């Protein structure tokens, strides 16, 4: 029994290390995909969030979806506006509120990033058997569930 406890403890440590490694790898991938457009990873995440949610682009909405504070997101949005990646429009329903929208230039960049991401990630999934894919999918769902 003690052997199993020791083995399980070691595997827990290995899982944490694997998650750290995956986080680093995905962060590096995202950085490499964003660099040609002059965007930081988080700026690109903001742009892609707006791209995927064009009818819900108040800063507070973006912050909720990204699980980040307005103190983190607002300065990044302001920089994106200064660089002409985003524009700010007054909300039609509430004049006190502003929505942020993609410029035409940024819409093209978002389309390219979406293609770049699928070009990079889909081959990773294609290299898995159906069973391996389902195991990873179900394991990640469970991990998300237990970490809430």
* CATH of residue 59: 1.10.10.10
pLDDT, residue 3, reads: 55
Contacts of 39 (CB under 8 A, 6+ apart): 47, 85, 109
pLDDT, residue 114, reads: 87
Q: Maximum CA pair distance of the chain?
A: 66
Contacts of 128 (CB under 8 A, 6+ apart): 136
List of the chain residues with pLDDT < 50: 1
Domain that holds residue 129: 2-146
Contacts of 76 (CB under 8 A, 6+ apart): 40, 42, 43, 46
pLDDT, residue 95, reads: 85
CA distance 56 to 2: 53
pLDDT, residue 16, reads: 94
User: What crossing angle do the helices spanning 41-52 and 2-34 adopt, rounded to 10°?
Assistant: 80
Q: What domain count does the chain have?
A: 1
Express each pLDDT in 1-32 by its tens digit.
455 788 999 999 999 999 999 989 888 888 88
pLDDT, residue 1, reads: 47
Three-state DSSP class for 39?
coil
């Amino acid at each position: 029994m003690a052997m199993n406890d020791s083995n399980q403890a070691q595997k827990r440590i290995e899982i944490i290390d694997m998650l750290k490694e995956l986080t680093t790898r995905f962060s590096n991938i995202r950085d490499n995909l964003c660099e040609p457009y002059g965007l930081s990873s988080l700026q690109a995440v903001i742009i892609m969030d707006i791209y995927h949610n064009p009818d819900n682009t108040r800063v507070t909405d973006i912050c909720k979806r990204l699980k980040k504070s307005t103190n983190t997101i607002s300065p990044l949005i302001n920089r994106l506006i200064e660089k002409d990646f985003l524009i700010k429009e007054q909300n039609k329903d509430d004049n006190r509120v502003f929505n942020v929208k993609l410029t035409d230039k940024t819409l093209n960049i978002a389309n390219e990033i979406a293609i770049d991401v699928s070009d990079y990630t889909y081959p990773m999934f294609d290299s898995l058997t159906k069973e391996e894919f389902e195991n990873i999918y179900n394991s990640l769902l469970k991990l998300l569930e237990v970490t809430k």
